[in-house]
Amino acid sequence: MKEKFYDYIQKLQDTITSKLEEVDSKAKFQQDFWERPEGGGGRTRVIENGAVFEKGGVNISKVHGALPKSMQTYFGVEEADFFACGLSLVIHPKSPMVPTVHANWRYFEMYDKQGNIVDQWFGGGQDLTPYYLFEEDAAHFHKVCKKACDAHNPEFYPNYKKKCDAYFWNAHRNEARGVGGLFFDYCKATETMQMEDWYNFVTEVGNSFLDAYVPIVEKRKELPYTREQRDWQEIRRGRYVEFNLVHDKGTLFGLRTNGRIESILMSLPPHVQWRYDHHPEKGSEEERLIEVLQHPKDWV
């Protein structure tokens, strides 16, 4: 399974980066290969200063070795070896009219001292973070997510949508990071879902990503915007940074397993503002966004 899924994410990385380069029409992804001293490595691709995308990364990694002490405590296990692979992406567009997007699809195995698999699971999801709220864009993103889920189980979308709203919650701000999407983790074999079934589900979600995001980019990338709207985007990006550094488990896992720091922190946008006690004007589009972030909606 681990080789099958790693082969899939290598091809998915190619598909996604090719399409995003086509959409941008100016910038190309820079590629770096890196190795982890304890075992494994990855292929990082970053795009910067494009016509559409200010900064973005589409990274794959495959790491293995002894589970660090900090992660043993986290998983509640004794000494163990592990294998983890996944694709993680974050795209920060230049225009505040185009939303930031994040996605991740991953697979994990844990082994006993004899090398037998004692645990394995899939995880992942995709979510949208707009700076100006176009409700039809949020609905489109969620409809694509729902379609991918419904092909496997009608309970998946409402369940994983709810988990996404709960996970991407900036508790210290009492607001969501964005308008959500899907979040699933610890997807293990059961009587009704074998690992092959989970593979089929996760890859269906992965294959849906471009359909969920690219039409929104194409629709909004030429819209005019002001310096004030750009300022708002940078203020909201600050909240994005706060979530990734304070709450995000993926960032934590990467840092605690000696992952490549540049690849882990590529999710951070290049231009950000933190203004003291900033509040949007009453009745403004900015306030309308905050209202939705504080009270997550059902988009489908």
Instruction: DSSP letter for 265, please.
Output: G
Active-site amino acid positions = 102
Residue 263 in this model has a pLDDT that exceeds 90:
no
pLDDT of the residue at 266: 85
User: pTM here?
Assistant: 0.94
Instruction: Answer whether residue 244 is part of any domain.
Output: yes
Instruction: Answer whether residue 147 is part of any domain.
Output: no
Are 120 and 109 in contact, with CB atoms under 8 Å apart?
yes
Q: What is the Cα–Cα distance from 190 to 201, expressed in whole angstroms?
A: 14
Range of the domain at 272: 2-133+184-277
- Give the residue among 124, 105, 4 at the shortest CA–CA distance from 60: 105
Instruction: Answer whether residue 195 is part of any domain.
Output: yes
Provide the mean pLDDT of the chain: 94
CATH number at residue 90: 3.40.1500.10
* 27-70 pLDDT per residue, tens: 999 999 999 888 999 999 999 999 999 999 999 999 999 887 76
Are 102 and 89 in contact, with CB atoms under 8 Å apart?
yes
pLDDT of the residue at 79: 75
Instruction: Answer whether residue 243 is part of any domain.
Output: yes
E strands, the chain, where?
30-35, 40-48, 53-66, 81-93, 100-111, 117-129, 169-170, 175-176, 180-187
pLDDT of the residue at 259: 75
Instruction: Answer whether residue 154 is part of any domain.
Output: no
* 142-194 pLDDT per residue, tens: 999 999 999 999 999 999 999 999 999 999 999 999 999 999 999 999 999 99
Instruction: Answer whether residue 250 is part of any domain.
Output: yes
Instruction: Answer whether residue 165 is part of any domain.
Output: no
Q: What is the Cα–Cα distance from 127 to 47, expressed in whole angstroms?
A: 20
The residues that bridge with 65 in the sheet, in sequence order, are: 82
Q: What is the Cα–Cα distance from 2 to 39, expressed in whole angstroms?
A: 15
Domains identified in the chain, total number? 1
pLDDT of the residue at 222: 97
Residue 71 in this model has a pLDDT that exceeds 80:
no
**HSE (side-chain half, CA atoms, 13 Å) at 124:** 31
Instruction: Answer whether residue 290 is part of any domain.
Output: no
